[in-house]
Structure 1
């Protein structure tokens, strides 16, 4: 195969997958996000559930893991799983 064609194919392949890797790098930290940010980023989380997340965090301290979100009333494991690619947790000691 012509090297020019191979280079074009390689460039096309790299550019096609660049948005996927960039999107995964930008996640919302549930330990610092506002209710508005949570409801705009998380799937299946509206304003009321987002406020419940913030209230839980304010009452119980920062989340230790993403899975701990399921301790918030109205947030189940399915909702947590749907949002794993959009959220992150920065431990309190790393801030």
Structure 2
């Protein structure tokens, strides 16, 4: 196998791993857009927009648990997604 083929194969393998790497990265609830927030389990477009609206009205979240102040997001959803949430 020549160097060009090796490079192509390794590039394709790296590109295929990007969605997996992104899925494991926490989502910053203070900066994420609606599409990023919708990647969380139990968060669809309307809840994602509610998070953004709450953030605009009240400022950035100071603690992850504050997300339960957003209508439609309760303790169960917080507990389920907590490992995927970040503030920074």
Correspondence 1:1-95 to 2 at 5 A: 26-40=25-39, 42-90=40-88
Kindly state the Cα deviation for residue 85 of structure 1 after the two structures are TM-superposed. Answer: 1.2
**Count of equivalent residues:** 68
The secondary structure found in structure 2 opposite 1:26 is: coil
TM-score w.r.t. structure 2 length?
A: 0.71
Unaligned regions of 5+ residues in structure 1, if any? Answer: 1-21, 91-95
Answer with 53-62 or 25-34: which moved more.
25-34
Kindly state the Cα deviation for residue 78 of structure 1 after the two structures are TM-superposed. Answer: 0.6
Q: Distance in 2 between matches of 1:84 and 1:74?
A: 16
The structure with the largest alpha-carbon Rg is 1
Q: Distance in 1 between matches of 2:29 and 2:38?
A: 11
CA contact (8 A) 2:24 2:84 kept: no
TM-score w.r.t. structure 1 length?
A: 0.66
Q: Distance in 2 between matches of 1:68 and 1:61?
A: 11
